[in-house]
Amino acid sequence: MSRTVVLVDAVRTPFGKAGSMYSGTRADDLMVRAMRGLLERNPKVSPDAIEDVAIAAATQTGDQGMNLGRSASLLAGLPVTVPGYSVDRWCAGAMTSMTTLAGAIAIGSIDIAIAGGVEHMGNHPIGDGLDPNPRFLAERIVEQDALAMGATAERLHDRFPQLTKERADRYAYNSQMKTAAAYAAGKIQRDLIPTAARIPEMGWGIATVDEPPRPTTTMEGLATLKTPFRAAGRVTPGNSSGLNDGATAALLASEDKAKELGLTIKAKLVSYAFAGVVSAHLKLTKHLLFR
C-alpha cells in the first residue's frame, strides 16, 4: 500500500547571520518557535493529532543535542505521547526529516507529522567538535580540506569550467535581486514566524525579516571580493552560501487525512532521491520533487 503524501504548510524563523541577531538565543528555542508558529497557523490540527516529529541538525551537541525531535516537541507543548527523533545528514538533514516521515505516511503507519531542521552556526561553526578517523587521510579516502565547503566549491569550478566566476557572481547578484523583489511583493514575510532575538548590545527585540540579504549588491562590488579558498580562485563571500542561524518546520500529512481535517494542500510529494558523491564535490546534491 502506498498513499499520497502532501505538504500542508511550511514556516521558518527569519534567518540571522551566524552569531549575530540570535547570538543570545538557543538553537532549540529557535526550533520551538518555528514549531509553535506552524501549529498556531494550523488550528485545525490538534497537537495530540501529531504522530511523529523529525528534526535535523548538523552538529548535535549542546543546544542542538538531546534528541531535538523529542526535546523540541516537549518544549513546544506537544503531548508527552508524541514521539520524536533527530536526523543528521548535514546539509540534507531537513530534507531527510521530510522524506523519512513521508515514508511512514506513505505506508500508513502515521497520518500527520512535523518535519524540520535547525542550525545555529554562531553556536556551532562548521566542523566544531569533529574528530575524523585518521584513516580518511591516511588512506586518501578524502582530501585534507574535505570539510571546507569553499574548497569543494572551488573543485566544482575545476570540474565544470563553464561555471566561471562571472557566472557565479551573476547568479549571486540575481539571487539578491530576486530576494529583494520577493520581499517587496510580500512573498517571503508570509511564511516567517516573528522570533524573539537578543543582541547583547541592544537587548531584546523581535526578528521579522532575514538578516543576510544584501539588496544593494552590484556586479561591480562582487567582482572586487577576495577569493579566500584559493589564490585567484572563483569562490568569494559574495557568491557563496551564507553562514546562518535559523529553524524551519513543515506539516506533512496523508492526502486523505488532510482532506478529512479540511486542510489546504500546498504540494504533493512526487518522488525523492539521495546519492553519495566523492568528497571533493560535496556541493552536488539530490533534492525532493514536489508539485
Q: Residue 245's closest CA among 124, 88, 121, 89?
A: 121
Per-residue pLDDT of the chain (291 residues; tens, 9 = 90+): 689 999 999 999 999 999 999 999 999 999 999 999 999 999 999 999 999 999 999 999 999 999 999 999 999 999 999 999 999 999 899 999 999 999 999 999 999 999 999 999 999 998 888 899 999 999 988 888 888 889 989 999 999 999 999 999 999 999 999 999 999 999 999 999 999 998 777 788 999 999 999 999 999 999 999 999 999 999 999 999 999 999 999 999 999 999 999 999 999 999 999 888 776 655 554 445 556
What is the three-class DSSP state of 38? Answer: helix
Provide the 10 A C-beta neighbour count for residue 183. 15
Cα dist from 188 to 48, 150, 179, 226, 239, whole Å = 29, 28, 8, 31, 21
pLDDT of residue 279: 66
What is the three-class DSSP state of 43? Answer: coil
Output the nine-digit C-alpha cell for 204.
Answer: 531584546
The domains of the chain are located at: 5-127+140-290
Helices 68-75, 27-41: inter-axial angle, 10-degree rounding: 60
5-127+140-290 — its CATH code? 3.40.47.10
